[in-house]
Amino acid sequence: MKRRNFISRLAATSIGTSLYKIWDGSSSAQGSGGPIVASTWDFGMKANEEAWKILSAHGKALDAVEQGVRIIEADESNLSVGIGGLPDRDGYVTLDACIMDETGNAGSVCFLQNIVHPISVARKVMEKTPHVMLSGEGALQFALEEGFEKTNLLTPTARKAWRKWKETSEYKPIINIENHDTIGMIALDSAGNLSGACTTSGLAYKMHGRVGDSPIIGAGLFVDNEVGAATATGMGEAVLKTCGTFLVVELMRQGRSPEEACREAVLRIAKKQDYKDFQIGFLAIDKQGNTGAYCIHPGFSYARRNGDGAELISARSYSGND
């Protein structure tokens, strides 16, 4: 069974009696305000259900996105987020994450090792320090001081995959569901406030020290409570070069729908970069609860949850001619 189909079935099982359907038409969905949560990829279904527990009880979007992505960070069965993530070429699992609230406050960690929940460390950075980002040993030191436990993130499954990769050491970052799945989550709560979170173990077998877009405010994640929020997945370098999520939000400010804004951000990348061997997907939500996504190649989907139930929506793509 293909990994994509397996995860979809698992997600369908995990949400019990709530509505679950796969949406293969337009990658946009109309909303009627909050609460609503959307997140990248198939495993977003599972993450959204955790977030929905908070949102449906009139909780804050900030709490919802943190708790939602923590579910995936702790899930060893995936190979791209938190514990169990595939390591860099030297065998180290290094994590990146950021979080942003409705006031514009943000926290981030990058090149963090040995901590299962980088998203919660990022929130501590936002709330307890005068900084936005901590990295490497400094981020680890801060996490330990805040009571986080040190854990070996390299699981037997990931170690086996890394050793097999070392036999050829071919570094060709073709990114889609087979290689790399950042989870980005954006939410609108019942009070009308937006927040977002983004967390990943980064590109498999990357150079030691590499950091992608996921912990960078305005690249992997951006929230403007007057307009909307956006998150990104795929080749981080391409998103970094275009300040992708900031661009998406600014396009929504100019009147574009979430899908239209995501499409324009993808076109900016596709027109200037050789996109044949990498995937980029953008996901956005506006203040009215409308969501939309767009990607370079077919295969990117996002999960959406509101009071009507749960959906898995396939994004339109540039190379797939919409």
pLDDT value, residue 178: 47
Considering the domain boundaries, does residue 4 fall inside one?
no
pLDDT value, residue 3: 36
Which residues are known to be catalytic?
182
Considering the domain boundaries, does residue 2 fall inside one?
no
pLDDT value, residue 169: 73
Q: Tell me the pTM.
A: 0.88
Considering the domain boundaries, does residue 10 fall inside one?
no
Considering the domain boundaries, does residue 115 fall inside one?
yes
Whole-angstrom distance, CA of residue 134 vs CA of residue 141 = 10
pLDDT value, residue 87: 95
pLDDT value, residue 287: 96
- Domain count for the chain, please give it: 1
Q: Which domain holds residue 99?
A: 20-317
Considering the domain boundaries, does residue 207 fall inside one?
yes
- pLDDT tens-place values along the chain, 322 residues long: 333 333 343 344 333 333 344 444 455 655 557 799 999 999 999 999 999 999 999 999 999 999 999 999 999 988 899 999 999 999 999 999 999 999 999 999 999 999 999 999 999 999 999 999 999 999 999 999 999 999 999 999 999 999 999 888 766 654 544 445 799 999 999 999 999 999 999 999 999 999 999 999 999 999 999 999 999 999 999 999 999 999 999 999 999 999 999 999 999 999 988 888 889 999 999 999 999 999 999 999 999 999 999 999 999 999 867 6
Residue 96 belongs to domain with CATH number = 3.60.20.30
pLDDT value, residue 22: 43
- Cα end-to-end distance, the chain, whole Å: 27
Whole-angstrom distance, CA of residue 226 vs CA of residue 253 = 8
Considering the domain boundaries, does residue 27 fall inside one?
yes
pLDDT value, residue 30: 57
Considering the domain boundaries, does residue 11 fall inside one?
no
What the block records as the tokens of 125 is 């950075």
Considering the domain boundaries, does residue 6 fall inside one?
no
> Which phi and psi (to 5°) does residue 179 adopt?
-115, -45
